Structure 1
Amino acid sequence: MRADQRELRAASTRLAVQFALLIVALFAVLGGVAYFVVTTGQNEAAHRALSDASMVDSVHDAPRNLLITVVMPDGSRDSSPQLPKGLPDEAALQDVIRNGGSRLDTVEAGGRSYLTQTDVRRGKVVQVSYGLGELEEEQDRLIVALVVSGLIAAVAAAGIGLLLARRSMRPMSEALALQRRFVADAGHELRTPLTLLSTRAQLLRRRLAGGDVSASADDLRDGLDEIVDDSRALTEIVEDLLTAADPRQSAEAEGVDLGALAAVVARSAEGRAHERGIAITTRAAEDAVVTGAPVSLRRLIVALVDNALDHAASRVGVDVSASRDEVTLTVSDDGPGFVDEEHAFDRFASTRATTGDVGHERHYGLGLALVAEVVDRHGGAVAAAAAPGGGAEVVVRLPRARSERGSTSGAAE
């Protein structure tokens, strides 16, 4: 699950980075357009200022933002005070004096740029210069503002993109986790019934293939009935798993005698227990009825009994008792007990001490996790602890069916 979370976080980060890059690209395009529009407007304003000064041929008539140099026909000059070094543009003046016409140049003077127009007006050569310093400063400020805004937009876009990506991918993550959980649950829950079904089918085939004369028609019919029952049980388990996996669905609840159901499960496990030399004892109170899904409750008991058989040394106890408000199911064994009761119901957790038995099937840490889920769906509580006489026990408490609450009956062997 951690690998899935890392992959989803990495995917969310990639989406956020791509979204941020997209925003930055769009912002760069818009910034470029804005910069082009502003600079074009400023250049047009500078040209209009020079055009408006086309009739000026005297230093005294020049506006404050213009610098003027006038060359008289006799060669004398009159210039605006405090001209920066580099003005007037002597090359432009000499060119217009010799050849006439008009020139428009950009001149660097005193560390600043000037848009300069030189032409002949009423026999005088007039050079008008418009300072571009303020325009360049405004352009620099615009560039800085665009860069800072772009960085802020990139960071904000990355944060918002990451938030939106994780929010949009959360359903995908949940669906993936649900899918994998269903596969794991199905494999765990179907393993034992499939093994039992295969065993019964093989026994029946051996009887038929070996010509066992002791096998009567009734025995064969019973064997076939058991296979049919096992197939029906598999179908019910699959349906219950599908119901548990889909939060939109819920199984029909009915009154279930937990004591009777526990006794049936214990009897079906006696063959496996006998092979391992383990004794199963059952004690069930009468009228220990709860409201729930029979298939789910059967899965719960089967998981607890299988878990106990996997770790027991010589005995497994199944005890069902009832009080006024709840029914208690206790499954205990004399095995090594729990190493960590607190995490016994975590998925894929192995909190049992080793038994030293190498012949056991591989355990995936799902049995008690499935028990906890079934108990939660039925509004109950479950706990794992050390058994009083040594070993381990799992205690399940479920609400007693309303119609059955009352005085409790004695336990029956």
Structure 2
Amino acid sequence: MSTPRRTAASSSPRAALQRLHRNLALIFALSALVGVAAFAVVLVVVDTHARERELDSFLQGEAGRAAGLVFGTSAEPDTSALTDDMLFDRPDGARPARLVVFARGGDPREVLDSDPDLTPHADPAAGASVPSTDALIPIARLSMSDPEENGVRSTLPLGHTTVRAVAMPWFSDGDGREVAGSVVAVAPAVSWTTGPLLLPTLVGGAVLVIVLAAVGALITRRSIRPAVDATQQRERFLALAAHELRTPLARLRAGAESLERGGVDPVRAEVGGSAADGEDGVRAEVGRTTPAVRELVSIADGASRVIDNLLLAARIDQAEVPEVREPVRLDRVAADAEHLDPNVIVDVAEPLTVVGDRDLLRHLVANLVENARRHGTVPERPPLITVAVFRRAAADARSGAGAGASAGADAIVLQVRDLGPGFPAALDVTREFVTSGNGGTGLGLSLASWIARRHCATLAIGANEVDGVGGQVELVFPSAPSAN
């Protein structure tokens, strides 16, 4: 015999609250990360722009001073003063920007390049590498069209690096003060990766995110704690209610059954007269009290079923019903329905096995029988309830009520029929707490629908197809599974 498999509910209240706590803490941490990252990006970008403006100011000053030291004309420029004053004799000891002097012509021609890696008389034939400054010609040409000396700025590639360049025009020493050329001051471009704030921002941001994430986790834990306590109190209440309600009902039912079987001592004590008269009186009194006792037993049974339904509904609401997978003889479960009501007739033709939870299936059958007993009787018809279990062919399952059956296998059907007024057409009786008004809590069929879904079965509610009158509830299993 195979061992039933139980799968613990993965969404119990405490587990759900723990997931909520983790999700809220994660959301808080992600929000902190996004906020700190955005602040860091803004800080680095602002710092990069500030350093770029500072570099532009420095380069414009270098280019302007250099342009004032270049003399002559575009045909004969003189850069000696520039070489002596700016390139090799800086009193502050700072390295100047790279200066490239162009003279005006058809295309601006290079006159001087202060890059220390170049020599004025480098011989390419001797293997000397002469870096090209052709990339600076466009900015030099633009500056020659700027007599107002506003300067032309640009970020462009030069060799293997990216540089920031500022170009200023220089003028001939004649009376006409014509633009004779351009001086371009060049320095490595500002990069956000080399900023002084990058490392402190990264380290400080990481620490701040960790601190904020810890604070968020603590806040969410304290916020959810009352809900966790309330859930635990509810679980304890459910367990206590199950014990405290079932025990007195069981004792009440046992006492009522004892009276019904002939416990007449309390009655005998109140009957007077002779022995014969007393005995006849007791029998008469018992005959009068037996229907009341039976009604008391029925009320106790009904109350027990209501309590069972309420507790099961509470467990479902709290996701505390474990999933059980074991072979269940559905015909035997149906046969047990004969003990629920004397008006139940069980119709079983063969042993039929499904895979599921035996207790839940018994609960489902009990709810269907109780629903038929309560709502499926009318004064002019006999209170007959039929519980049938049978196999339905695959072709019938595909075309009829067994729409949930698989296409290639027979379906197993549990059917409960009555001769009552049937189900209201405009009322969804499978909804929780929905009832037709003839008493009841409105939980029976809603729980039956949930149990059907738990077993991957289809619950069909409609008219009695066999007798032509009354209501019918069918539970159609997808196929006839093998035990596993």
With the length of structure 2 as denominator, give the TM-score of the two structures.
Answer: 0.38
Q: Which has the higher contact order (CA 8 A, sep 6+)?
A: 2
Normalized per residue, the structure richer in helix is 1
With the length of structure 1 as denominator, give the TM-score of the two structures.
Answer: 0.43
- Structure with higher Rg: it is 2
